Amino acid sequence: MSEIELRDVVQRFHARGTPSGFLTAVQSTSFTLRSDPPHIVSLVGQSGSGKSTIARIILGLQRPSSGLVTYGGRDIFKLSRAEYDDYRKNVQPVFQDPYAIFNPFYRVDRVLRTAIKKFSLASTAAEASSLMEESLLAVKLDPGQVLGRYPHQLSGGQRQRIMLARVHMLRPSFIIADEPVSMLDAQVRKLFLDILTDFRTTYGMTTLFITHDLSTVYYIGGEVMVITRGRIVEKGPVSTVMHTPSHPYTQLLLASVPQPDPDARWTDRIDIAQATAAEAGPEVPPEDEALEARVP
Ligand SMILES: Nc1ncnc2c1ncn2[C@@H]1O[C@H](COP(=O)(O)OP(=O)(O)OP(=O)(O)O)[C@@H](O)[C@H]1O
């Protein structure tokens, strides 16, 4: 079994125009992702609440101002190059905008071939081709229709599923999915979420699913952590948190989900600041040397 543990992780950024000159994007955050049993845990919160910053920190793309991120008990920012490569094979990202990942001048096959080469997944060209085909079929893509095409010739949903095919080839223990479905229509969104669920049951992958959208959290199930202003204010099984939310911000978030009922249109204004003001503690001055976000 492997574990990714965040312990008292804090991320501060320089921010001009604020009274203190910095903002705290992530406040003393601790949680653990376990590969056994494999599970899906959603991190839900409004825009700017710190979700992507947490994803970047877990992926080792950003060193936190303070706190620890460990994998198998070891600080991920102290891994050797080879150990970090192994970590990144086991912890795969899926981002919101797959178009940004593709090079528009290369056929989409390249994303898969690069992974095969980098991680030595096949020893012959024939083996590589059958691996690509198997993985594309696993994410409900027809290899004949997508291989050989350029990124702009595919839909957003197809591009996003190519990223899932890449994950399928690598079989990581963990997927860090940052708003992976927010640009997809409802039908493709459901297909994507079903594939993530299949990955958990069939291959034992644990997913951190980052979203601002409660309906997808509800659909995907498992566990949920609710974040506001960089602080996780509630966590638990989705059914418990959705049905009996204990924190005012979670209650507000749930009340903000639009109802598809023309007779029950919103009339109230939503005041996020009011609901979260009580939670926001005073900002603490940063330890100066740890301020800068660094890419290892
Ligand atoms: N490199 C950076 N430098 C300065 N401020 C940053 C940086 N990255 C993020 N922030 C700020 O940190 C806060 C949290 O940002 P983050 O992107 O983690 O939020 P989020 O919940 O993922 O929002 P969204 O859903 O809109 O992406 C925001 O106020 C953002 O402006």
HEC string for 82-118: HHHHHHHHHEEEECCCHHHCCCCCCCCHHHHHHHHHH
Q: Which domains does the chain have, with CATH numbers?
A: 3-252 (3.40.50.300)
Q: Taking the model in full, what pTM does it have?
A: 0.87
53 Cα: distance to centroid of ligand 1 (angstroms) = 6
Q: Say yes or no to pLDDT of 276 above 70.
A: no
**DSSP 8-state symbol, 296:** -
pLDDT tens profile 162-218: 999 999 999 999 999 999 888 888 888 999 999 999 999 999 999 999 999 998 999
Q: pLDDT grade, residue 25 (50/70/90)?
A: very high
State the average pLDDT over residues 145-171.
Answer: 92
- C-alpha of residue 32 to centroid of ligand 1, in Å: 22
Question: Where residue 273 falls among pLDDT bands split at 50, 70, 90?
Answer: low
Higher pLDDT, 296 or 2: 2
Ligand 1, CB within 6 Å, residue ranges: 13, 23, 25, 45, 47-53, 212, 293
Is the pLDDT at 275 greater than 50? The verdict is yes
| Nearest atom in ligand 1 to 96's CA | 27
Instruction: Compute, in angstroms, the gap from residue 54 CA to the centroid of ligand 1.
Output: 10
**Ligand 1: which atom is nearest the Cα of residue 227?**
21
What are the contacts of 251-257 at 24+ separation with CB within 8 A? 251/275, 253/44, 253/45, 253/46, 253/214, 253/226, 254/214, 257/214, 257/215
Query: Predicted confidence band at 287 (pLDDT cuts at 50, 70, 90)?
Result: very low
Nearest residue CA, atom 28 of ligand 1?
48
Residue range 100-121, pLDDT digits in tens = 777 888 898 999 999 999 989 9
pLDDT tier at 129, thresholds 50, 70, 90: very high
Mean pLDDT, the chain, integer: 87
Lookup: tokens for 267: 């009339």
